[in-house]
Amino acid sequence: MDLMNNTAAIQTPFNCTVDIRYRFTYFQISYSVIFICGVASNSMALWRVWLMPWTLTSTAVYMANLAVVDFFFLLSLPLRIYYYNNRSHSMTWAPGSVFCQLTFALKYISMYGGIFFLACIGLDRYIAVTRPVLRRPKQVHNAYVLSTTMWLMVLALSFALPFMHSSASDSRNTCLLDPSLGHHQTFILAALGLVSAAFMLPALVLLFSYCRVLRVLGRMPHRGKSRHRRTLSLIYCVLGIFLLCFTPYHSNLLCYTLTHVGVVPSCGLAKFASALHPVMLSLASANCCLNPLVYYCSSSQVHKNPAKQPGSSFNFRRKQLRGKILP
């Protein structure tokens, strides 16, 4: 959720002026770098998936959905770069409300879709450790059902936030909610509640899965622990992305919003949160560059081992025989 005024500075309800002029240039540079790195990292990950044989598992279903989310994110970046370039030259929003809603709906789809499906991957690994007897077709079916539910929630959230903006805005010159206007306070706080819940619930699911997996593995013998080493690495990777990208952004967003709408009348906190906001938002956006690490950590759950494919042992023995017969 971006909160920005119509001028080069934000005037809070308690007479505290916060300069935001540098943000337009900063976002153009950071999003350009993230776009290049994201395209490169995701292309390499998809190329690796394309070359290696893979099997349909619940993990593969969630990975495919995460790849789609990353695609939406990369698609939104050029639009957001254009938005900030437009604002840096003229402090008005020209392309219209439909373009505005589409641009930031894609942003919310990418961010909260990534959060939801990362939590699904953590939950999937928890089930794999605690209920290893669950049959694969049942796991895949559950993954499809849960993925459909996640998409419905993500789409509802992503289009509700721009709609709340259009309902609150009295002007077509802005694209985002203005936190300094008192009559927008209800809509801003409602949007803050939505995005906070959309972050906290998956985070709690992920933490629960991580703690339960550690508890179960702690009771296993050494051989059982080594068998689930990749599962633990995958959960570490997902949890690391959460802590690095999404937790700082949502923590700062809470301070940023509450100070700018006047709920917390602290000028020092308002300036501090405003200075951190573009950095935290760029850090949250950088998750698309880190998601390919999740693909690599989950390779054992997605890719087939060629030595275990049907007929591979026969081909291997045939090559051995040829080696003995041919000079």
Predicted confidence (pLDDT) per residue in 261-311, tens digit: 778 777 888 888 888 888 999 999 898 888 888 877 766 555 554 444 444
| Full-model pTM | 0.79
Q: What is the pLDDT of residues 109-145, one digit of tens each?
A: 888 999 999 999 888 888 888 876 666 678 888 899 9
Q: Are the CB atoms for 203 and 242 separated by under 8 Å?
A: yes
The architecture that CATH gives domain 9-300 is Up-down Bundle (1.20)
Most confident of 4-13, 46-55, 219-228, 248-257: 248-257
pLDDT band of 249, cuts 50, 70, 90: very high
pLDDT of residue 247: 92
Q: What is the pLDDT of residues 153-212, one digit of tens each?
A: 999 888 887 666 655 555 555 565 544 444 567 777 888 888 899 999 999 998 998 888
Q: What are the extents of the domains in the chain?
A: 9-300
pLDDT band of 99, cuts 50, 70, 90: confident
H/E stretch holding 191 reads helix 185-218
CA of 183: how far to CAs of 27, 92, 172, in Å? 28, 20, 16
Complete DSSP assignment for 223-240 = HHHHHTHHHHHHHHHHHH
